[in-house]
């Protein structure tokens, strides 16, 4: 393998990728890579994976679906985390007496 050609192909591929963090879809590989796994990587990693035949760029439809799914998962996680947060309010003894007095009058 000619290393100059290899790195030139990577640089050329990297220059053709518009997004800073593109999504790639993996191919099945002999070293254990699973087909169809979507990953968000930097341009260089995407270009290297494509040149090495380990992945391809995700189509716009795949990218939209993946990002929408990630947003739903992130929202569900944030909602679950919010359930476990403890909210504490500190009030003075005088305010507590006023509250107790107001409740007692009803």
* Sequence-ordered list of residues with C-beta below 8 angstroms from that of 13, at least 6 positions apart, any chain: 46, 47, 50, 51
Tokens, residue 55: 């992945």
How does pLDDT run along the chain (106 residues), one tens digit per residue?
Answer: 799 999 999 999 999 999 999 999 999 988 888 999 999 999 999 999 999 999 999 999 999 999 999 999 999 999 999 988 888 889 999 999 888 888 776 5
Domain range annotation of the chain:
3-105
* Rounded Cα gap, residues 41 and 39, in angstroms: 6
Ramachandran area for residue 32 (φ above 0: left; ψ -120 to 50: alpha; else beta): left
pTM for the full model? Answer: 0.70
């Amino acid at each position: 393998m000619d290393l100059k050609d290899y790195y030139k192909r990577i640089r050329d591929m990297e220059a053709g990728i518009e997004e800073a963090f593109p999504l790639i879809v993996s191919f099945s590989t002999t070293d254990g890579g699973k087909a169809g796994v979507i990953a968000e990587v930097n341009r260089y990693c995407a270009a290297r994976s494509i040149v090495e035949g380990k992945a391809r760029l995700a189509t716009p439809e795949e990218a939209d679906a993946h990002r929408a799914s990630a947003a739903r998962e992130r929202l569900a996680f944030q909602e679950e985390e919010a359930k476990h947060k403890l909210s504490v309010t500190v009030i003075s003894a005088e305010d507590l007496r006023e509250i107790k007095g107001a409740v007692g009058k009803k």
